[in-house]
Structure 1
Amino acid sequence: MAQPPINTAIDSLTAALKGNIIPNQEYILQGSILDASVEVLLHRLRGLCDNVDAALETFHDHEMCFSIRGPNNTQPIQLRVRRSIDQPMMPMQLRYIGQPELGDKSQPTVLRSSIDIGTSNTVVEFLTELGCRKEFEYIAKGYMFRKGRMKITVFKVFKIDEMRKTGALEPMSQSYLVELSVLAPSGQNAIADDMRCFAEQLRPLVQLEKIDYKRLAHGP
């Protein structure tokens, strides 16, 4: 018997998620490295990652985090909007990120729901009209590497309020954030083992690990 047609965008997205067609899970490990050691890390990554003969891939983005209350005042839903400062003609990116799942101790990475959508430059106005509230914003500037399906970013976070006042970027800290991540459909847990093996190759320069966000929020 023929399947009934899918008539709406929401139905199409739901069907794609159930069929594991689109990447909707992010596996992630995070760490940091002091400014004084970042050049050594970049050199190591160039040797380990793909396209080692190409110039370093850089990014310079403005990211805003919005939240909106879920039904029945449940946990707020977070949405992130990112735009490229260096390439203003590129589409803006709207991203939904779910609550991180630490899983059991044998799980090598944090796992969280993640859906990315390219949008027009009116997305901020659209979210505001929906009732979303902007929680914070920042500038992220750094480097991006690829190793198969894995994405590695090394970037520094800057205060956007100070940039607006003085026109100069003021870093939040004297270190760079390092993230190792993979976007994949549900159920591909073998990816986490590949990420753990790659992270071991970056020791002792940087220790990429599962971050317990709840512990950071509430303290030890």
Structure 2
Amino acid sequence: MDGLEPTAKQTELHQSLSAIDTLTSAMKSNVVPNQEYLLQGSILDSGVDILLHRLRGLCDNTDVGLESFHDHEACFVLFNPAAQQSQPLTLRVRKAVDDTAAPWHLRYMGQPELGDKNRPTMVRSVLDIGVGSDIVEFLKELGCRREFDFITKGFIFRKGRLKIIVGKLYRSEAGKAPHELEPVSGSHYVEMSVVTPTGQDIVGEDMRNLAEQIKPLVNLDKVDHRRLP
């Protein structure tokens, strides 16, 4: 094998592994933003324009226009056969539909921590890394199972370090044009989040204060997904 040039596929897989190794090393020194504070809610489509107008008044840099996104996201899970009762590892792969030059993203999401009633937000471990376009094949080779795909479109707002997403979910169907996408429901989801290094609980108060300012348009709260039907 000496002297042979690596293929493009091998190069991209190596880049993905290198990125994961880099993040793992950084986490050990607590310098990587690896903890997400999160509030979630939803609003009927009929009220979205009013909410967008409200957020434009509250958030930063909206005088230059709304920041939009249009992504295709796939969910993968990896089960541990040695621990049948444990939660599977959840990974999300995301690519921008409207910007083919943008990098693909791989996100690990841990289970939300909901036990502390005094904490104003959910908290979960996350890792975000840029990866090559062969990441889907790479995850399959690792033994991950592809659970579902979806399309999400909407707008992103920022208030300091807070990020607010107002988006709509669509079913992912091959060959469908953007205007032919079928919505999952008659509402938009709303998420407020901050990703920080461990031990930044004070950010939860900032999130609660902003959430109060967009009531009663939408009620952002801690959501226990394990209790959803």
**TM-score w.r.t. length of structure 1:** 0.90
Report what 1:25 is aligned to: 35
More displaced stretch, 166-175 vs 200-209: 166-175
* One-letter code aligned to 2:197: P
Query: What is the 5 A alignment of 1:1-220?
Result: 12-70=22-80, 72-73=82-83, 74-161=86-173, 164=174, 166-167=176-177, 168-216=180-228
Q: What CA distance in whole angstroms lies between the structure 2 residues aligned with 1:96 and 1:149?
A: 21
Write the distance in 1 (CA, Å) between the matches of 2:19 and 2:162.
29
The one-letter code matched in structure 2 to 1:126 is: F
Instruction: Tell me how far apart the structure 2 counterparts of residues 125 and 10 of structure 1 sit (CA, whole Å).
Output: 16
How many residue pairs match? The answer is: 208
Residues 1:37 and 1:130: Cα distance change in structure 2 (over 3 Å)? same
> Contact 2:121–2:204 (CA<8 Å) still a contact in 1?
yes
Unpaired segments ≥5 residues, structure 1:
1-7
Say if 1:14 and 1:159 are closer, same or farther in 2 by CA, change over 3 A. closer
Equivalents in 1 of 2:176, 2:32: separation in Å? 42
User: For 1:19-72, what per-residue CA distance to the aligned partner results, in whole angstroms no more than 9, with x for missing partners?
Assistant: 221100000000001111100000000000000211100000000000111362
Gap change, CA 1:169 and 1:24, over 3 Å in 2: same
Q: Could you tell me the TM-score, scaled by structure 2's length? A: 0.86
CA distance in 1, matches of 2:29, 2:144: 30
**Aligned-partner residue type, residue 121 of structure 1:** S
Q: Aligned-residue CA RMSD in angstroms?
A: 1.6
Q: Which runs of 4+ in 1 moved over 4 A?
A: 8-12
Percent of paired sites with the same residue:
57
Between 180-189 and 11-20, report the one with greater CA deviation: 11-20
